[in-house]
Each structure stands twice: as C-alpha cells, then as structure tokens.
C-alpha cells in the first residue's frame, strides 16, 4: 500500500466522493428526498422538468464544492493542531 501522500498525488484519494455508510438517519432522509423529487417531477411539464433538473444539477455542484471546502477546512484545523502539539505553543498555520 502506498503512503497517503502518494495516493493523494496520484489522485487516488477523493474524499468528496466518499459514500456515507452506516448512518440510518442519512439513509432514511436520502430515500425520502429521492421519493419527494420523483413525485414532484411527475407533476411538472417537460419544460419545467428540464428547469428543475438543471436546478438540481447546480445544487449538486454546490454541494460538491461545499464538501471539498469542508474537507480543506478540517485538514487545516488538523494541521494546526499538529503544529501546536509539536511546537508546544500556538501555531499560525491558517
């Protein structure tokens, strides 16, 4: 197995694409959301459905960006904590 840095460099690590597993509440809300979207879409005419699909696509793009930003923020926080641990004082790693 290669190191985390090697995996990151090779593009093998894609945290934003990780699937949430073992969270029953998340699973339930996903099923409910998909059902609601399907039911709502059936009520729309073709033009409205295309607009709604575009809206959902933009929402998914925003969600991906937010998830990526959250990962970066968490990584920075973790790195800052490690700076403090190894230096024994506050670190300005942000």
What's the whole-number mean pLDDT along residues 6-26? 86
C-alpha pair distances (Å), 51 with each of 22, 37, 58, 62, 72? 34, 13, 11, 17, 32
CA distance 56 to 36: 13
Tokens describing residue 85: 């641990």
**Residue at token pair 């290669």:** 2
Per-residue pLDDT at 89: 62
What is the rounded average pLDDT of the residues 30-41? 96
pTM of the model: 0.65
Mean pLDDT of the 79-85 span: 89
Report the distance separating Cα 64 and Cα 69, nearest Å. Answer: 9
């Amino acid at each position: 197995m290669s190191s985390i840095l090697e995996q990151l460099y090779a593009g093998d690590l894609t945290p934003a694409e990780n699937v949430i597993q073992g969270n029953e509440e998340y699973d339930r809300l996903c099923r409910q959301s998909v059902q609601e979207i399907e039911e709502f879409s059936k009520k729309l005419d073709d033009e409205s459905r295309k607009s709604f699909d575009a809206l959902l696509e933009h929402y998914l793009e925003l969600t991906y960006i937010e998830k990526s930003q959250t990962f970066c923020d968490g990584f920075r926080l973790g790195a800052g904590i490690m700076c403090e641990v190894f230096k024994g004082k506050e670190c300005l790693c942000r």
